[in-house]
Chain A
Amino acid sequence: MEHMISPGNLTGSGLAGRIFQTQMDPTDDIVIALVGNPNTGKSTVFNSLTGLKQHTGNWPGKTVTTAFGRFVHSGKNFFLVDLPGSYSLLANSPEEEVARDFICFGDPRAAVIITDATCLERNLNLVLQVLEMTRQAVVCVNLMDEAKRNHIDIRLEKLSRILGVPVVGTSASNGQGLAELKDAIDDLVSGRFIPKPIRIRYDAAIEAAVSMIEPYIKKATGNQINSRWLALRILEGDDSFIVALHEYAGVDLLDAEEVRYKVEQAREKLQQQQIYRDDLRDRIVSTIVGMAEEISREVLRYDGDWRKRIDRKIDDVLTSRLFGIPAMLLLLGVALWISIAGANYPSQILADAFFWLENQLTHLFTLAGAPNWLLGMLVEGVYRTLAWVVSVMLPPMAIFFPLFTLLEDLGYLPRVAFNLDYFFKKAHAHGKQALTMCMGLGCNAAGVTACRIIDSPRERLIGIITNNYIPCNGRFPVLITLSTVFIAGGAGGMRPVLAAVMVLGLITLSVVITLVVSRILSCTVLKGLPSSFSLELPPYRIPQIGRVLIRSILDRTLFVLARAVMVAAPAGLVIWLMANVSVYGNTLLNHCAGFIDPFARVIGLDGYILLAFLLGLPANEIVIPVVIMSYMSGGALLDLDSMDALHQVLKGHGWTWLTALCTMLFSLNHFPCGTTLLTIRKETGSWKWTLISFIVPTVTGILICFIVAQGARIFGLV
């Protein structure tokens, strides 16, 4: 009976097993839930506890990803579930619902609540809410090192006494306190620590209402769920919870005549005292917030002034009227410059190595007496395309990814959102779209997934549709190469700087286009006004450089590269075949390119370039290699050991600065790659929106390239 979902008997291992599609042993695996506010280093704690053996799963019916991992401690198997970061369990978003439902129905043996020592009071809110639900909890006060640096002193023992559950201080980034955390979890699940969680007392009116209905709820649900907590949710009229209760526990509370009658009675009584639904929620939250404040006052000593923290001084510059936006451009520009200038050397080494290997391969083929067409197909078609993609694409990617991750880990991205929010508001879009846009710089598919942080469905769709305007890492090499060759051509030693400025300009343009198109969408297919939004600016953190390097190189660079290579090899084959198979006296490639050539010329490209974009649908990385291959006689890619050789080839085929510019503009504005399209389909659950996400940027690109190309021709610039 694996993963049985029948209501009423869903155990912790059942729900976790269902989400993660994994075999669990209910007698052996101890399920532990990890909850916490966003930005508390929850993932770091999770990573440090579970190491690299992690898996993710999608919560059934919701686009919320949860991760799980295992660790062994004192001979026991722990199954750790990382729940989405949430500020509260009063369920205002799908993430919070997931966190609440897992704690409530996933039947974890313990909930570990990760809190931020530098912002304990706010975090205690969530702690108190969890303790109201379950007594099996451990509080982990993370970022103790940051707190110490900021002269915040927390009396953990006293906090544990007040809360009635184990409290452990950690600095997960350097592994401090993790052993103690595991011990505390073990003590709790093995019964060595008897929790006596603090009880939250509400005002007399609420307490009276709760005691009116609690006994009846207890009777209806048995002991599986904390009836006091349940009573509060029912009084509040939390509909999402009543649905969840039915789905996971098979209990239809309001069906029970007796319960419904009592709930009505209790609500009426509250209303007689002028306490309506919103007031009730206010009173409940105010009580919890007040308690958090009180506890924080008891256990926390702060010898300093937050106004004098280094964060405030950095922010005063990085978000100032004068320097805010220039600093943003400068940081991105420097990251681009490092990527471009730094990529030259490794690119050269890789190209040399691939060239040497190609000679050996050719030699081997000749020795084996392989026919010429086979040599051509495999070496000149598949191998050279692959070699080109790796030697030209990999170095700038391998440099830019870690740099970008570093900025992300520093905590700079929320500042970008803060600086740009005004413009997003004007575009009737969500402020967090700036964050998803930043993620798109790495990979648009990741950017589309990141749009989950936008609550409002309308604004989320805008974020998804427009994400593709931001050039992803796979498109950077196109921009970098063409900028270096055509725009910065004669600049000598200043080449990388000029190329970086050009790419920076293009990215800025893509942000402007994103805003304009967002605004257009907001007054056409996705009509509406901006919804409310709040954005936390977390303290800056010193990134763990080693981890950033490993994470970005292993997770992202290699992933993107593997994808490019997987697409490049068959694409190389297809191109070689198209260029070498003749029909009616001309190659297939020439037929196809010739067919679309007139249209392509109108928008400043040529048939081969447009064809390359079409063939590049599976991965943008192969666009330039395909163009070059198409141009070479016999259809094989030349050895391009220098940028100048590339320049000669392109110029020989009629490229001007305008062709380069239009190619770059079309690279910014065209249909998303296959992976991104599939991600959009998954995230929106609709082919309609996927199609719109395909059409909108493509039309933008055609329009912009048309205007630029025709404008330049009319003014006689070329």
Chain B
Amino acid sequence: MHRLSIPLNLLPIGCAARVKQIKAKGNTRRRMLDLGLVAGTEVEAVLRSPSGDPTAYYIRGAIIALRSEEASNILVETTGELR
């Protein structure tokens, strides 16, 4: 299986990936940790807002919307084939 490391904001809707690294610092980082976004967490892109941003992700049982700026600071590794 082909694995690919990309920033989360580039993950297509309907695709799942595993968090590899959170690059954000300070308060933003802590907020992400609170949501359960730690290395190894599985996320799936679920919805894109009508204007293309933000995107909602399925994270540990909850649907959480992140702006592309935040999502681009989360590095993920795709778990399956990218559509």
Q: Which residues of A contact B (CB under 8 A)?
A: 87-88, 90, 92, 118-122, 125, 278, 281-282, 285-286, 289-290, 292-293, 306, 311-312, 315-316, 319-322, 324-325, 418-419, 421-423, 425, 431, 455, 530, 532-538
Alpha-carbon distance between A418 and B56 when the two chains are bound, in angstroms:
9
28 CB < 8 A contacts A-B:
A88-B34, A121-B36, A121-B61, A122-B35, A122-B36, A122-B60, A122-B61, A122-B62, A125-B36, A282-B22, A285-B33, A285-B34, A286-B39, A290-B38, A311-B63, A419-B51, A421-B54, A455-B27, A532-B31, A532-B67, A533-B67, A533-B70, A534-B35, A534-B64, A537-B47, A537-B56, A537-B65, A538-B63
Bound together, the chains give a CA A227 to CA B66 distance in angstroms of: 37
Q: How far is the CA of A322 from the CA of B56 in the complex (A)?
A: 17
Q: From known contacts A289-B38, A422-B52, infer whether A316 and B60 are also in contact, taking CB-CB under 8 Å.
A: no
Nearest residue, chain A, Cβ from B44 = A307
Q: Are B60 and A121 in contact (CB under 8 A)?
A: yes
For the complex formed, measure the closest distance between the CB of A341 and the CB atoms of chain B, giving whole angstroms: 29
CA distance A293 to B53 in the complex (A): 29
Q: What interface size band does chain B fall in? A: 35 or more
Given known A418-B49, A533-B67, contact A118–B36 (CB-CB < 8 A): no
CB–CB A119/B62 < 8 A: yes
* Residues on A with beta carbons closer than 8 Å to the beta carbon of B63: 311, 315, 536-538
- Check A320 against B50 for contact (C-beta < 8 Å): yes
A312: chain B residues within 8 A (beta carbon): 46
B17 to chain A, nearest CB (A): 16
User: Which residue on B lies nearest to A119, using beta carbons?
Assistant: B61
Residue among A87, A118, A119, A325 making CB contact with B50, cutoff 8 Å? A325
Alpha-carbon distance between A275 and B51 when the two chains are bound, in angstroms:
41
Q: Evaluate contact between B61 and A90: CB separation under 8 angstroms.
A: no
A597–B38 Cα distance when bound, in Å, is 64
Alpha-carbon distance A533/B27, docked complex (angstroms): 10
- Which of A282, A419, A538 sits near B38, CB closer than 8 Å? A282
Q: Closest 5 CB pairs between A and B?
A: A422-B51, A324-B50, A119-B61, A532-B28, A285-B33
Task: Count A/B pairs, Cβ under 8 Å.
Answer: 127
CB–CB A419/B34 < 8 A: no
CB neighbours (8 Å) of B54 from chain A are 418, 421-422, 431, 535
Tell me the bound Cα distance from A257 to B12 in angstroms: 55
Given that A281-B33, A286-B38, A418-B56 are contacting pairs, would A321 and B50 also be in contact in the complex, using a CB cutoff of 8 Å?
A: yes
From A119, A289, A455, contact of B41 by CB (8 A):
A289
- Assess the B50–A90 pair: CB atoms within 8 A: no
A60 CB → nearest B CB, Å: 24
Q: Is B64 in contact with A537, judged by CB distance below 8 angstroms?
A: yes
B15 in the interface (beta carbon within 8 A): no
Name A537's closest neighbour in chain B (CB-CB).
Answer: B63
Report B-chain residues with C-beta under 8 Å of the C-beta of A87. Answer: 34-35
Contact of B25 among A278, A311, A325, A425 (CB under 8 A): A278
Other A-B contacts than A121-B36, A282-B22, A418-B49, 10 sampled, CB-CB below 8 A, are A119-B60, A119-B61, A278-B29, A286-B33, A306-B61, A423-B51, A455-B27, A532-B24, A537-B63, A537-B65
Residues A289 and B36 in contact, CB atoms below 8 Å apart: yes
Q: Does B30 contact A (CB under 8 A)?
A: yes
Name the one of B27, B30, B32, B65 contacting A535, with C-beta atoms under 8 angstroms: B65
Smallest beta-carbon distance B77→chain A, Å: 17
Compute how far the CA of A535 lies from the CA of B60 in the bound complex, rounded to whole angstroms.
14
A125 to B59 Cα, complex, angstroms: 13
Complex CA distance for A661 and B69, rounded to whole angstroms: 41
Q: Which residues of B contact A125 (CB under 8 A)?
A: 34, 36
Name the residue of chain A whose CB is nearest to the CB of B24. A532
